Structures are given as C-alpha cells and as structure tokens.
Amino acid sequence: MVVSWNQTFNAFWTRHGKKEEAKYDVHIEYEGPAREFMTDATPIIEKIGELDGKDLTEVAGRSSLESVVLYIKDLITPELEGGDKLRRIYVLENDMFGVELLEEDRSEETRLAA
C-alpha cells in the first residue's frame, strides 16, 4: 500500500550571500504491507511544517534544494513503522526548480501491483 501527500511551506535560502524567501511544494510517498493503520503521517507533516519561515541554512546546514530534500528524508525515515519504507520525495522550489529522491528498494508486492 502506498501513502502520499502534498505539503507547502515558505522558507529562506541563502545563495552567494543573498538571502531570499522561497516557496517549497513537497510530495511524499511511502509504502509498506497493506494493513488497517499505516505509519501515521501527522508527526511527519508537523515536522515538515516546522520548516515554514525558517532559514534553511540554519536548519538543514545548507539551503540548496538537494540539501532540503535530504533533510526532509532524515525527518521522515525515523517515523516510519511496521515495515513501511520511503518511496519518493519531490520538492519544487518557487514553481520552477525540482529535485526528486527515489528510493529503489521497493517491495516485490508493490512493483507487481503497479
């Protein structure tokens, strides 16, 4: 079973000494064995929501879009339970630049269903 959602937050990035606000659209997918209750996404949604208004250089160490994706991955991974695994993270910055992280270790059951 695959669980997914979209989420948006605004944060600040710094590049070449220039600090600006940007909008980030995030798409998350995780998968696992079908069951009545998959991993509760609420804590993950809250953690990503805490990025709103933050300086990404301070939070994620760097403000590159790749760093943001890896930071979000690190927020999600410890929350997954019951054999659930991260499948995909896609972050779009200012409706223009996107970075996608695909986890290749997908279950045979999910591949057959796709």
Report CA-CA distances (Å) from 65 to 14, 96, 107: 11, 11, 28
pLDDT for residue 109: 52
What's the CA gap between 34 and 1, in Å, rounded?
Answer: 5
What would the pLDDT profile of 10-47 be if each residue is shown by its tens digit?
A: 999 888 888 999 999 999 999 999 999 899 999 999 99
User: What does the pLDDT average to over 50-74?
Assistant: 89
CATH superfamily of 2-113: 6-pyruvoyl tetrahydropterin synthase/QueD (3.30.479.10)
Max Cα distance, the chain (Å): 49
Residue 77: pLDDT band by 50, 70, 90 thresholds? very high
Mean pLDDT of the chain, nearest integer: 89
Is residue 101 over pLDDT 80?
A: yes
Structure tokens at 110: 């999910």
> Model pTM?
0.84
Q: Where are the domains of the chain?
A: 2-113
